[in-house]
Chains A and B, each alone.
Chain A
Amino acid sequence: MTDIRSTDLGVAAAEPGFADYVALLKPRVMSLVVFTALVGLLVAPVPVHPVVGFAAIVFIALGAGASGALNMWWDADIDAQMRRTRARPVPSGRIAPGEALGLGLGLSGISVVMLGLAANWFAAAFLAFTIFFYAVVYTMWLKRLTPQNIVIGGAAGAFPPMIGWTVATGGISVESALMFALIFMWTPPHFWALALFMKGDYENAGVPMLTVTHGRAATRRHVLAYALALAPVSVAAALSQIGGPVALAVALGANAAFIAGAWRISRRDDAASAADQHGVERRFFRFSLWYLFAVFGSFLIERALGAAGLGGW
C-alpha cells in the first residue's frame, strides 16, 4: 500500500522541509565552529593541502551539526517551553524526535570516520570526544543538574580550534590549548548575558541557569569575573607563537571593551535593565560575538603577515 496519500492521514501540514533538517544542525553554532576550527587549522605551523583542509572543516562542522541534532532530540521538552527555542523543528512537531536522534547519530559516525580518513585519527578521536561531551556530558547530564552547566559544557564549544590545529599537526600544543582556554572563558559571560535578557525562559523550563539558582545580581557579578579572567588568557594567546603585535593590539582593545561592558552589566540592577529593555545586556551579547571574531581574526592576520615575512614575534 505505497500509494496511500499522507493527506488522507491528515499529516501533510507537518511535512518537514530541507530547511528543517538544516535547522536541526544549529547552523549558527556551526558557523562559529567552522570559523574557530579554520583559524586553528590555518595558524598551525604545519601546512595542510587546501582540499584536505576544506574537507576537514566540512567534517568538523558536520560533527558539530550532529551534536546539535542530538541536543535538540534530548532537549525537545525544554525547548518547547522557551520562547527562544519553541519554534525549533522537534518541539514544533515538524521533525519526529526519533528522526533527530537518527540524524544526529548517523552524522556523528560519518563525520568522525571521514575526518579520520581525510586528516588523522587523533583529530577524529578529538571530534568524537567533542560530540560526546556536548551531547552526553553537557546536554544529558550537566544542563539540568548544575548552574555550572555553561561553564563546563562550554568546553565542547572550545574544542574546534584544537581539532583544527590537530588536523594540521597531528597533536596539541600550548597555542592550541590557549585557543581552547580563550573560548572556554568567553562562553560563560556570553551565555549569561543572554540569560539576563531572556528573562524567565530558563526558569520556566526548569533549567538551573545561574540566573535561576543564584539570582540575577550574582549572575551580573559572574559576568564581570569571567570577563576579567578572560583578558589574561587572550593576551597570553596574543603573546604566543600564533600572536604578534596586531593580535596583541586587538586583544588589548577587545578585552578593554569586553571588561567595560561587563562592568556596566555588574553595576546595573533589574529595574534599570528592564527600563531600557536590557539594552546593555543585549549590546554586550552582540559584542561578545564580535570579540571572538576579532580575536581569532587577529591570529589569521598574524599568519598572513608571517607568510609575507611580517608580523609574529
Chain B
Amino acid sequence: MLRVEHEIHRRRLGRNLGLGLVLVAFVVLMFGLTVVKVTQGNGMQAFDHVLRPELVPPAQGAGQ
C-alpha cells in the first residue's frame, strides 16, 4: 500500500501539481463552453438536442 509520505509523492510532486492544474483548467474550460453553448442554443429539448418547433415562443397575438 502507498503511504502518504512515500518518496514517490515528493519526487513526482511537480508533475502531479502540473497535471492537476491542467485538469482544473480543462474543467473550467468545459464549464465555460457549456454555459456559452446552452445560452446560445436554439429551442432544443435536452434528450436528443433536436430543434422543437413547439419550444419556439409564439408570436404576439397568436392563438387568440
**Residue positions of A touching B, CB distance < 8 A:** 2-3, 5-7, 12, 15-19, 21-22, 49, 51-52, 54-55, 58, 117-118
Contact = CB atoms under 8 A, between A and B. Distances in A.
Given A21-B18, A54-B29, 7 more contacts: A3-B1, A5-B7, A16-B15, A22-B18, A55-B29, A117-B33, A118-B33
B6 A3 contact: yes
Nearest to A12: B11
Interface string B24-59: 000001001101110010000000000000000000
B62 interface: no
Contacts of B35: 51
B40 A49 contact: yes
A15 B40 contact: no
A18 B11 contact: no
B15 A17 contact: yes
A68 to B, nearest CB: 16
B4 interface: no
Contacts of A19: 14
Interface residues of B, number: 20
Contact of B2 (A3, A58, A118): A3
A23 to B, nearest CB: 12
A52 B6 contact: no
Which 4 A-B pairs give the minimum distances between C-beta atoms? A18-B18, A51-B36, A18-B15, A51-B32
Given A3-B1, A18-B19, A51-B36, A58 B29 contact: yes
Given A2-B1, A12-B11, A17-B14, A55 B33 contact: yes
Given A3-B6, A18-B18, A52 B36 contact: yes
A55 B25 CA distance: 11
A15 B15 CA distance: 10
Given A49-B36, A51-B32, A118-B33, A6 B8 contact: yes
Given A49-B36, A51-B33, A52-B33, A2 B2 contact: yes
Contacts of B6: 3
